[in-house]
Amino acid sequence: MSDPTAEDACRLTAAALATAAIGARRFTTGLQHFVYEVTLADGRTTVIRMTRPAERAVARNALRLSRQLRPLGVPLPEVLAADVEAEMPWMLLTRLPGVDLWEVVGSLPDASLRAIAGGVAAAQTIAGSTPSAGRYGFAPSPEAAPFASWAEVMVADLDRSRQRIAASGLFDLREVERLDGIRMKLARDFDALPATPFLHDTTTKNVIVSDAGTLSGIVDVDDLCFGDPRFVAALITVALRANGLREDYATYLMAAAGWTDDHVFRFYVAAFLLDFMSEHGQRFNGNERPSSPEARNRLLGLYRQALADL
């Protein structure tokens, strides 16, 4: 079966809403799904998220988590229609007004960034109040979390980077081993962390900001992570740093959530820089950014600085 297209987006949306769809534009962020903004004949817009059949379980989980978290107050888009059992699983969602945070983070005033950070921190608090089974890692439910400790999650994270870097040959594997040595020294710190549920994908990509500079909502919650919620703040820090954007938002989120910047948090920053390095030379769903020597050298420099900060 071929990958979902704009024509599929229009066809499915028109059938679900019984309204003609006149065009679809693909969102160029995200490495797993095929997400389109669909314009209807009456001028409305909506969003359809289509998934490859092999990832049907992900679509099922996204629908279930939306039904769990949205009533609790997590600002997710309303599900207008869905068929996650179709040959091509899909969900039709309301179009949250605005753009991904990364598009405007450099131009928003501090007051707006602080307010957005506060809203995201509140959503994390809600997620953190949902059940945990004392297991760790990325999963759609507490019982399905794959690891017995947070330290194991860190091992798996570095192993993924190691495998990707080995496959592409674009970076020296000794860079991975340097961080792995630090990981082993921090094993007890990782083991002391509780399995707190958090929204790991609330980064600069999935936080939607309105034209007025306010939080419209959060998109693409396919699963949760169980462990240290600061992990997502480290990813945000790296996403901003790697793209040369101001890091204030990450600082405001840490403050709003009451999270601490310590040696464990700085390890996460280095690990995510390594993860960004490992994505070079990989193919995902067509949204991956092209690799260049300049981009790779810049990431390597940031990574080595992060190691020095540990």
**Nearest in space to 61 (alpha carbons), one of 36, 82, 37:** 82
- pLDDT on residue 241: 96
Instruction: Count the residues in the chain.
Output: 310
pLDDT in tens, 145-157: 999 999 999 999 9
**Bridge partners (DSSP) listed for residue 225:** 138, 198
**Strand order across the beta sheet in which 215-218 lies:** 99-100, 207-209, 215-218
Indicate the pTM of the whole model.
0.91
CA-wise closest residue to 215 among 207, 226, 227: 207
Q: Of the ranges 232-236, 238-242, 288-292, which one carries the lowest mean pLDDT score?
A: 288-292
